[in-house]
Structure 1
Amino acid sequence: MTTWFITGASRGFGAEIARVALAAGDDVVAAARDVTRLPEDLAEAERLLPVALDVTDVHAIPTAVDAAVSRFGTIDVLVNNAGRGLLGAVEEVSDTEIRDLFELNVFGVINVTRAVLPVMRRQGGGKLVHMGSRAGFEGEPGTGIYNASKFAVAGLSEALAAELAPFGIQSMVVEPGVFRTDFLDSSSLSLPADRITAYDGTPAHTTLDWADESNHAQFGDPVKGAAPIHEVVSGQDLPRHLYMGRDSIEHREAATRQIAKDLAPWREKSVATARDDTA
């Protein structure tokens, strides 16, 4: 039996992963800012422990981890799912809006992970699953700050995979495309308080219009997305990246082609910057 600790478990991917894990006979710690908002089927599940947790509250995190270990004795899988979006041109997003996003999307991931790692090291293994995004490997207009936060999560996950291998702990970042969750609702997505009209009609503000039109109409199905996440985590070895959704794969392949295109004409001069020790 596997024990999962899932942040942001009241909806979206967090709730769906919890459902799949419970259906497989696993134990689940469902962490949410407001546990009264957990779906009824989860809240009433015998093998589920609801814990109140705002991942930006560094003092509350150890309490939630201790509650999980007290109930189940272990944490085998940590799913860092809590997060939110922020749209707008980089120039028009305020410093406060940026810092608030990073407190949740980046520092929340770091602090929950650091609180769980002593448990995993003591037990000789574990798996870290960080919910990233297609935005974590591809910068697009109107999402620059959100991109920065998810690029940070991807880099953190890769570093953790290398650092923690000696302890039998694995780390993976899941990078979904657009899925039909509440992500584009105002409860999960922020827009700049002070928009700069000069960006109207440009790609940065076209993204804002897209978000409004696409809310709850995204083609990705989170129920179908949660199943392969559980399958991958239940296997022996985690990939460093799990690209989830047709658009994620297509954009990752396009990004790989762009890297090759950028690299080719400058390869020789780049290599030639090495120090010549023969001089």
Structure 2
Amino acid sequence: MKIWFITGASRGFGALITAQALAKGDAVVATARNSKAITERFGEHPNLLPVTLDVTSQEQATAAAKTAIERFGRIDVLLNNAGFGLMGAVEEASPAEIEAVYKTNVFGLLNVTRAILPFMRQVRSGRILNISSIGGYRGAAGFGVYSSTKFAVEGLSEALHDELAPLGIHVTVVEPGYFRTDFLDASSLTSSSHIIADYEATAGKVRTLATSLSHNQPGDPNKLAQVLIDFADAPHPPVRLPLGSDTVSAIEDKHRKDAAILAEWRAISVSTDFITR
């Protein structure tokens, strides 16, 4: 039996993975801003520990980790899932909007990870799954600020992977594409209130497309949940796990474009080194 610690567990991927983990016989420390939302969704279960956690609070993260250890004795899998999106051109985003998305998506992930790592290091075991996005691998108009938070998650995850591998702790950044959840709804995706007409053909177009795509996304969230449940047993997990055909296509396209940049600009790129004689 594995012990999962899942943030943002009351809905979306977090709720689906919580349900499948419990069905498998694992135990779950399921966290949300209001633990009543966990109880309302899953009811009473001997392997479920609902915990109130605002990931932006280091104090709450530390308390939640301690509560989990007191109940189950260990944490085998940390799933950093809590987060939300911000849609709009970079210039349209207000300082308050930018700060809010960073506090949850980046600093929240750091708060929870730093609270749980001492317990994983003590036993030289554990897995950390950090939910990123297709937007964490390539930026796109209309999602610049959100993508920048997920780029941060990618960088943190790669560094953590190298730092923790010698200690028996595996870290993987998960990169979902567009899955049929409520991510494009107002409950998970905020839109900058300030609109600049000059961005109508770029960020403005994305706003329209997001509305039409909501609940018509190509990815099946139940399949993603099952993949991650099974992935927790993978003997040699990779540093990143792309999920969704759209993510795979986006990564392949970026690789082609980056290869073209290197081919065209290689002479300039390498010309900046000191010349050794």
TM-score range for the pair, normalised by the shorter chain length: over 0.9
Tell me how far apart the structure 2 counterparts of residues 39 and 100 of structure 1 sit (CA, whole Å): 27
Q: CA deviation at 1:212?
A: 1.5
CA contact (8 A) 1:142 1:203 kept: yes
Specify the alignment match of 2:116 in structure 1: 116
Identity within the alignment, %: 48
Q: CA deviation at 1:108?
A: 0.3
Between Structure 1 and Structure 2, how many residues are aligned?
277
Q: Residue 259 of structure 1: SS of its match in structure 2?
A: helix
Q: Describe how 1:114-263 pairs up with structure 2 within 5 A.
A: 114-200=114-200, 202-263=201-262
Q: CA deviation at 1:195?
A: 1.3
Aligned amino acid, residue 66 of structure 1: K
Specify the alignment match of 1:79 in structure 2: 79
Tell me how far apart the structure 2 counterparts of residues 29 and 248 of structure 1 sit (CA, whole Å): 29
Specify the alignment match of 1:99 in structure 2: 99
Aligned amino acid, residue 15 of structure 2: A
CA contact (8 A) 1:92 1:192 kept: yes
Q: CA deviation at 1:40?
A: 4.6
CA contact (8 A) 1:11 1:39 kept: no
Q: CA deviation at 1:169?
A: 1.0
Tell me how far apart the structure 1 counterparts of residues 229 and 43 of structure 2 sit (CA, whole Å): 20
Q: Which runs of 5+ in 2 are unaligned?
A: none
CA contact (8 A) 1:43 1:50 kept: no
Segments of 4+ moved more than 4 angstroms: none
Q: Residue 38 of structure 1: SS of its match in structure 2?
A: helix
Aligned amino acid, residue 68 of structure 1: A
Tell me how far apart the structure 1 counterparts of residues 274 and 125 of structure 2 sit (CA, whole Å): 42
CA contact (8 A) 2:89 2:142 kept: yes
Say what the alpha-carbon RMSD is for the aligned residues: 1.2
Aligned amino acid, residue 50 of structure 1: P
Aligned amino acid, residue 265 of structure 2: W
Q: CA deviation at 1:271?
A: 2.3
TM-score w.r.t. the length of structure 2 is 0.97
Tell me how far apart the structure 2 counterparts of residues 155 and 82 of structure 1 sit (CA, whole Å): 18
Tell me how far apart the structure 1 counterparts of residues 241 and 125 of structure 2 sit (CA, whole Å): 20
Tell me how far apart the structure 2 counterparts of residues 213 and 12 of structure 1 sit (CA, whole Å): 19
Q: CA deviation at 1:43?
A: 3.2
Specify the alignment match of 2:272 in structure 1: 273
TM-score w.r.t. the length of structure 1 is 0.96
Specify the alignment match of 2:20 in structure 1: 20
Tell me how far apart the structure 1 counterparts of residues 32 and 10 of structure 2 sit (CA, whole Å): 6
Q: 1:170 to 1:89 in 2, by over 3 A?
A: same
CA contact (8 A) 1:6 1:80 kept: yes
Aligned amino acid, residue 176 of structure 2: P
Q: 1:197 to 1:39 in 2, by over 3 A?
A: farther
Q: Residue 58 of structure 2: SS of its match in structure 1?
A: coil
Q: Select between 109-118 and 215-224 the one with higher mean Cα deviation.
A: 215-224
Tell me how far apart the structure 2 counterparts of residues 43 and 80 of structure 1 sit (CA, whole Å): 22
Tell me how far apart the structure 1 counterparts of residues 41 and 130 of structure 2 sit (CA, whole Å): 24
Tell me how far apart the structure 1 counterparts of residues 160 and 231 of structure 2 sit (CA, whole Å): 18
Q: CA deviation at 1:126?
A: 0.8
Q: Select between 94-103 and 257-266 the one with higher mean Cα deviation.
A: 257-266
Tell me how far apart the structure 1 counterparts of residues 162 and 245 of structure 2 sit (CA, whole Å): 28
Q: CA deviation at 1:273?
A: 2.3
Q: CA deviation at 1:39?
A: 6.6
CA contact (8 A) 2:57 2:111 kept: no
